[in-house]
């Protein structure tokens, strides 16, 4: 059975990665792909690594990275570069998969999915994974089956008659061969992720982090500083326009008659101060986001890693940080969820909390008892490596594929 997975990565990440190596873009496609995947930003080449153990001929495609696309197209079509979808079309027509799997359904439009399907008339199954709430996204209904780490979405889709399967996130143990696993504690507490206002997003996350920060210093690796600067710049422009309008009106200059003056004056009439959804306490703790191996190393070098699910996760533990943190061997402190005990044993393999105050209290206790924090970290890592690796998820995929193909 021939399996192909399509993955996409943010353009900013690819630019940062290629900036680290001036020669990477010149490598042959297979070497360049290995180099790209070796940073382990997401499960890039995961299934072509582990699915062959179950008898599948598996290939992972990274679509939309200009350097990789150019290398593949140059070697296979004789041209230097083409559009990402044209490259993808050529790749898929060359591979002719029986099963096509989208790593993140939400990174494709429903139109793109239908176009992709049209390229492969012999395709038996087009499935995909999602880890977020895309119930209103037509792309969710353009695939034949949905795999998700969100149990509530599985039940909802099944009730609608849509094939859906629970596929928890997991950890790739190959990461441990790429980072420095010596236990050098650089920071007591770290958090990695964004803090976006909204009850369905990160309001509770913000509350937990602000409560912890009032008692213990911590580092927040986040893109929030970039968002802060963009908002601050936009506010400065609005404020400057408003100030200029006031000054010109005061000295009698016809501001409204200047090119664009009326529009600028109207837009800048009453500039609101920027609102970032968190206090100045957190702003002072921000550090630039880290990705790939840099993220894993930051997790490994921390005594404790705080995890707080987005509001859309509802009462279920689902996100990747559960397995990334425990996988590298740091002590995970995470919000309490109904299904958490099915993944880890609280207070033995991870530490859970039911409120911001409880999180702060448990963290204070763990820092006062570092040997216990280290013991929990070791237990959590053992659990992840034994039960939550990508190899553990292969049977879930293959059993689902067998059911879906039999039904088709």
Distance CA 225, CA 234 (A): 14
Spatial distance between the Cα atoms of 180 and 174, rounded to a whole number of angstroms? 12
Q: What integer pLDDT is reported at residue 202 of this predicted model?
A: 86
Select from 317, 319, 327 the least CA-distant residue to 293. 327
Contact 317, 150 (CB under 8 A): no
Place of tokens 């890693």: 305
pLDDT the model gives residue 268: 46
Note whether 144 and 125 are within 8 A (CB): yes
Domain architecture of the chain: domains with CATH = 2-170+390-407 (3.40.50), 173-223+289-387 (3.40.50.2000)
Whether 320 shows a pLDDT value over 70: the answer reads yes
Q: Bridge partners of 331?
A: 304
Higher-confidence residue of 165 and 258: namely 165
| Interatomic CA distance for residues 279 and 277, integer angstroms | 7
Nearest to 129 by CA among 114, 118, 140: 140
The pLDDT tens digits of the residues spanning 270-298 come to: 555 555 556 778 888 989 999 999 999 99
Tell which phi-psi region holds residue 347, choosing left (phi > 0), alpha (psi between -120 and 50) or beta: left
How many angstroms separate the CA atoms of 35 and 17, rounded?
10
CA 117 vs. chain centroid, Å, equals: 26
pLDDT over 80 at 308, yes or no: yes
User: pLDDT digit string (tens) for 187-234?
Assistant: 999 999 988 777 788 889 999 999 999 999 999 999 765 555 555 555
The full DSSP string for 77-105 is HS-S---HHHHHHHHHHHH--SEEEES-G
Per-residue pLDDT tens over the stretch 95-143: 999 999 999 999 999 999 999 999 999 999 999 999 988 888 999 999 9
Under a CB-based contact definition with an 8 Å cutoff, are residues 305 and 191 in contact? yes
Average pLDDT over residues 346-359: 98
Distance of alpha carbon 180 from its chain centroid, rounded? 23
| pLDDT, average across residues 80-94 | 90
- CA distances to 32, 293, 380, 392 from 184, rounded to whole Å, are 32, 16, 18, 29
**Average pLDDT of 148-161?**
94
How far CA 308 is from CA of 216, 275, 284, 323, in Å, comes to 17, 21, 20, 13
Report how far apart, in Å, the C-alpha atoms of 193 and of each of 156, 219, 223, 321, 323 are.
Answer: 28, 11, 8, 9, 15
């Amino acid at each position: 059975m021939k399996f192909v997975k399509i993955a996409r990565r943010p353009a900013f990440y690819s630019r940062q990665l290629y900036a680290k190596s001036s020669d990477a873009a010149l490598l042959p496609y297979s070497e360049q792909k290995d180099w790209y995947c070796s940073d382990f930003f997401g499960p890039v080449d995961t299934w072509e690594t582990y699915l062959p153990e179950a008898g599948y001929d598996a290939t992972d495609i990274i679509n939309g990275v200009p350097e990789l696309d150019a290398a593949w197209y140059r070697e296979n079509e004789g041209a230097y570069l083409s559009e990402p979808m044209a490259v993808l079309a050529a790749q898929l027509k060359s591979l002719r998969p029986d099963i096509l799997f989208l790593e993140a359904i939400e990174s494709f439009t429903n139109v793109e999915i239908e176009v992709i399907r049209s390229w492969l008339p012999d395709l038996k199954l087009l499935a995909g994974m999602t880890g977020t709430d895309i119930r209103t996204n037509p792309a969710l209904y353009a695939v034949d089956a949905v795999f998700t780490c969100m149990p509530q979405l599985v039940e909802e889709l099944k009730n609608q008659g849509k094939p859906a399967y629970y596929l928890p996130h997991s950890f790739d143990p190959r990461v441990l061969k790429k980072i420095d696993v010596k236990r050098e504690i650089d920071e007591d507490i770290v958090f990695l992720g964004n803090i976006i206002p909204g009850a369905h997003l990160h309001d509770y996350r913000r509350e937990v982090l602000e409560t912890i920060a009032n008692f213990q210093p911590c580092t927040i690796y986040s893109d929030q500083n970039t968002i802060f600067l963009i908002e601050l710049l936009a506010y400065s422009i609005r404020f400057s326009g408003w100030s200029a309008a006031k000054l010109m009106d005061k000295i009698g200059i016809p501001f409204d008659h200047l090119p664009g003056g009326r529009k600028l004056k109207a837009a800048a009439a009453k500039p609101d101060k920027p609102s970032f959804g968190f206090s100045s306490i957190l702003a002072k703790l921000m550090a630039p986001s880290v990705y790939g191996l840099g993220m894993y190393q930051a997790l490994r070098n921390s005594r404790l890693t705080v995890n707080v699910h987005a509001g859309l996760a509802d009462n279920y533990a689902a996100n990747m940080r559960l397995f990334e943190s425990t996988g590298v061997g740091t002590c995970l402190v995470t919000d309490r969820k109904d299904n958490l005990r099915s993944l880890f044993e609280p207070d033995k393999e991870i530490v859970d909390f039911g409120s911001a105050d409880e999180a702060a209290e448990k963290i204070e206790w763990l820092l006062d008892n570092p040997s216990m924090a280290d013991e929990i970290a070791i237990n959590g890592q053992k659990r992840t490596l034994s039960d939550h690796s990508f190899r553990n998820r292969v049977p879930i995929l293959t059993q689902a594929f067998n059911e879906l193909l039999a039904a088709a």
